[in-house]
Structure 1
Amino acid sequence: MTDFKRMYKEKLVTPEVAAEVIKSGDNVDYGWCVSTNVAVDKALAKRMPSLTDVNIRGGILLWVPEIFKIDHPEKHFVWNSWHSSGIERKMIDKGLGFYAPIRYSEVPRYYRDGAAKVDVAIMQVTPMDEAGYFNFSVSPSHSAAVCDVAKHIIVEVNDKLPVCLGGFEHHIHVSKVDMIVEGDNPEPAILSGAKPSEVDMKVAELIVEELHDGCCIQLGIGAMPSAVGALIAKSDLKDLSVHSEMYVDGFLEMAKAGKITGKNKAINRGRQTFTFAAGSKELYEYLDNNPEIMAAPVDYVNDIRVVSQIDNFVSINNAVDIDLFGQVNAESVGPRHISGAGGQLDFVLGAYLSKGGKTFICLSSTYKTKDGKLKSRIRPTLADGSIVTDTRSNVQYVVTEFGKVNLKGLSSWERAKALISIAHPDFREELMEAAKKMGIWKEGETI
């Protein structure tokens, strides 16, 4: 049998030695979300002032990398985000990075087809097991695809990361790794969810009443999906399943309440399937070596052909705003980038193809500007520069605190009427007048 421990020792290097691999002009993959590298980042920050034109990819940063703290980082590298956290949003606002538009299920192919080139891949992993494998922990996502094409693979071992069991592409063998770094073993980054507001809870109530025993749930990130998870945990629902791009604390609450059995899933029966996770310390402890968990690559988890095989699939996601045609923007405020497309469209399409499936886009009816003015999230048209995340033909249920409507099968004026009916009452009259001017209002109709 190959001596994996000897191979490990031969490949073990300091962060500084690992950082020396990176050259000017290189394409570097920094890992994903909780698994973004730490020790090599610190070493690279010291080396970066001597480099130029380094192209770095990552996403959903939960802390500010050290490379951004050097003088004039924009002179040395550019950050490209597959999906932006609040940290990355601020970087982009400052001109230190850019968003890369994606359909999340396709990302592994971007790498394997050569569209996203990788000279150096760096990511946090769990300690090597007896068979010589490092687990990708909470970020299998596209990690295997990155490693498939990278010229140099550097793994940063963190013994505090949970081992997430999977079906495939959830680990990498020591024989495929070029360098191993043992860092400071930081605690996995905590993603603190916003406390649900009264509006969030009302929206959640309207969604939960559409659920029934045996549903399979997908939750997006944000206070509203979290509120749904909390209400499900307190409900009478039972025998639910999980198949979700992201595993969040809402699922943990449901699991602790005994709501999840997965016994009705046509595929991966009994297992909670996801492609990446972020949340509380308790969440990571729950995921660690849990045989009920199935961590898998995103081109499987988000594939609409996979999702559609699961009956009674329910997809729940947030939006920034929606127009009277039913176009959903979940990514920007006008041209200002906020987050990203992620897998929202994947699940909007896949869930509707599921037998008995439903998709929900949820949002508060209004928001306040910095100067305190109340604005409607339901608009005549999307603001100039806003991104269409979900096209009008793909949207099913839209939910605000004032109700829920199903847009499938409705004509343009029926859509406008339905959406205006769940807008804040203060804006309904002006929305109706706008619909008339746009020619999407039936004469004689009122709200």
Structure 2
Amino acid sequence: MDYRKEYGEKLISAEKAASFVNSGDYVDYAWAGQTPVSIDRELAKRAGELENVVVRGGVLLGVPEIFKADPNGDSFIWFSWHSGGADRGRINSTDAAFYSPLRYSELPRWYRENSRVDVAYIVVAPMNKHGYFNMGLNASHLMAVVETAKKVVVEVNENLPIALGGFENEVHISDVDFIVEGENPEMLELPAGSFGEVDKKVAELIVAEIPNGACIQLGIGGMPNAVGSLIAESDLKDLGVHTEMFVDAFVDLYNRGKITGAKKNIDRFRQTYAFAAGTKKLYDFIDNNPQCMSAPVDYTNDSRIISKLDNFVSINNAVNIDLVGQVSSESSGYKHISGAGGQLDFVLGSYLAEGGKSFVCLSSTFFNKKTNKEESRIVPNFEMGSAITVPRPVTNYLVTEHGIFNAKGKSTWERAEGIINIAAPQFRDELISEAEKMGIWRKSNRK
């Protein structure tokens, strides 16, 4: 069947697409690298004309034009499912942006059951001969957006990689209301996180725990990147990938012969992911590569799916941990940083897997610019307003540059000692004193 006639009938300008939004509407801006560009520019021109338009998205790789045109949020209110730099800046500096707390694995269901979408704007690859537009870097939750939205507008970008899969990674023209042919800008990139000596020390402790044939998940940031770098230099082999976010480190590991997927219990030989963000190297690797499997996040992040993968190893960052093993990864006090993402899902799923392990890692200290001094990331109690991302009953391995501690099976006083042992030495006496006040320190513990 030839879909060119239908394509032509649905083709409109970006200006026309932006005109569909009314005051009070809920608008979807897709996700990460597939946030609209041409339509965003035209919608920004309506700042001042519109009021209280809620725009949803997340992991922004650049600053949308609607932010620039409406700095106070009189026209556009931003709801973020997970924060990149631009989301974080707007949330922390205005009352025009807010985080929506969720387990990322639930997002497709949230759309289908709980979320109103008046207009959805999604960047897609050009239509193929079968009438399908590829979702590119983000299967994630975008099919659920399509199914929920009253009006679906796709913005075509010829530079978007074709991501194979998988499922729910294509949308048919019959499910699209309008098409905008964008200006085909280069895809926005997320630079690979740099890492230093502290990150390397943490990575060394984690890599020593990874067996051949393990299936790995890496979060974003310096420490997961350091782990990837050390794995590339190690003797590990036949690794698999099942992850929320696909990052440059996986490309490096594959090119070094570390990733085959041969030992995966499901999706053998495939690197499975919900969304991808990185450099052009990553995008070129994904493009039309059957090695990569693009899938919705309610599959990749489902703890029940993760638990089917033997020797699953999950590696994620944290902001702080407390003396009983609670993990805070989303905020520092009321200052918003990122989001819950899939951290809890992967902590649960990896521990349920045969031979699985989850690692939450962080540097033991940080320099606080407000107090102008070094402070401990291991704390007796979190600063008021800090979100608890992983509750203490499900914490597995906690790692700093000073050591690794398995919290499973440990009482509160055993946890206190184990966690203090991986804190920076200069803060340990103070932490012991606080543990005594909390009633989780015995006289038999070392002083």
Q: Which bin holds the TM-score, normalised by the shorter protein?
A: over 0.9
Indicate the residue corresponding to 1:446 in structure 2: 446
- CA shift for structure 1 position 48: 2.9
Provide the residue aligned with 2:250 in structure 1: 251
Q: Which residue of 1 aligns with 2:357?
A: 358
* Cα separation, 2, equivalents of 1:328 and 1:56: 30
Answer with 309-318 or 6-15: which moved more.
6-15
Query: Residue type of the partner of 1:238?
Result: K
Q: Kindly provide the CA deviation profile for residues 64-111 of structure 1, in whole angstroms up to 9, marking residues without a partner as x.
A: 000111155411120000001121111012222000001000010011
AA aligned to 1:427 is F
1:5 aligns with 2:4: yes
Structure 1 CA distance for aligned equivalents of residues 13 and 161 of structure 2: 23
Residue in structure 1 matched with residue 377 of structure 2 by the alignment:
377
Q: 1:314 to 1:72 in 2, by over 3 A?
A: closer
| Deviation by residue 1:339-361 (Cα, 9 ceiling, x = unmatched) | 10000001000000000000000
Matches within 5 A, 1:234-273: 234-273=233-272
Q: How many corresponding residue pairs?
A: 445
Partner of 1:228: 227
Unaligned runs of 5+ in 1: none
CA shift digits 1:22-62 (9 cap, x unpaired): 11111000010011111100010112321111011000101
Q: What secondary structure sits across from 1:212 in the alignment?
A: coil
Local SS of the residue matching 1:141: coil
Q: Secondary structure at the match of 2:231?
A: helix
Give identity over the alignment, percent: 56
1:369-423 deviation per Cα after TM superposition (whole angstroms, max 9, x unaligned): 1153010000011111111000001110000000101000000000000000000
Residues 416-436 of structure 1: per-residue CA shift (max 9 Å, x gap): 000000000000011011101
Alignment check: 8 A CA contact 2:364 2:402 kept = yes
Q: Which residue of 1 aligns with 2:431?
A: 431
> What SS does structure 1 have at the residue aligned with 2:73?
helix
Which residue matches 2:112? 112
Distance 1:163 1:38, change over 3 A: same
Query: Secondary structure, in 3 states, of the residue corresponding to 1:75?
Result: coil
Amino acid at match of 2:207: V
Q: Aligned pair 1:311/2:294, yes or no? A: no
Deviation by residue 1:302-345 (Cα, 9 ceiling, x = unmatched): 00110000100000000000000110000001111111000000
Alignment of 1:7-406 (within 5 A): 7-95=6-94, 96-113=96-113, 115-370=114-369, 371-406=371-406
Contact 1:325/1:381 (<8 A) preserved:
no
Match of 2:411 in 1: 411
Q: Secondary structure at the match of 1:49?
A: coil
Aligned to 2:315, what secondary structure does the other structure show? strand
2: CA distance, partners of 1:20 / 1:180: 14
Aligned equivalents of 2:170 and 2:47: distance in 1?
A: 29
Q: Distance in 1 between matches of 2:138 and 2:128?
A: 17
* Residues 305, 350 of structure 1: 8 Å contact kept: yes
**Which amino acid in the other structure matches residue 374 of structure 1?**
E
Specify the code of the residue in structure 2 equivalent to 1:366: T
> Over residues 168-213 of structure 1, what are the superposed CA-to-partner deviations in whole Å (9 max), with x where a residue is unaligned?
1001001110111111111111101331011001101110010111
Q: In 1, are the aligned partners of 2:223 and 2:317 still within 8 Å (CA)?
A: yes
Unmatched segments (≥5 aa) in structure 2: none
Distance 1:263 1:68 in 2: 46
- Secondary structure of the residue aligned to 2:216 is strand
Q: Distance in 1 between matches of 2:20 and 2:301?
A: 34
Following superposition, which runs of at least 4 residues in structure 1 exceed 2 angstroms of deviation? none
Whether the aligned pair in 1 keeps the contact of 2:143 and 2:171 (CA below 8 Å) is yes
Cα RMSD (Å) of the superposition? 0.9
- TM-score when normalising by structure 2: 0.98
Q: 1:434 to 1:72 in 2, by over 3 A?
A: closer
Answer whether contact 2:194 2:221 (CA < 8 A) is retained. Answer: no
Instruction: Report the Cα distance in structure 2 between the residues aligned to 1:78 and 1:197, rounded to whole angstroms.
Output: 37
Moved more, 4-13 or 236-245: 4-13
SS in 2 for 1:282: helix
Return the offset for 1:17. Answer: 0.6
* Paired residues of 1:67 and 1:73 also in contact (CA < 8 A): no
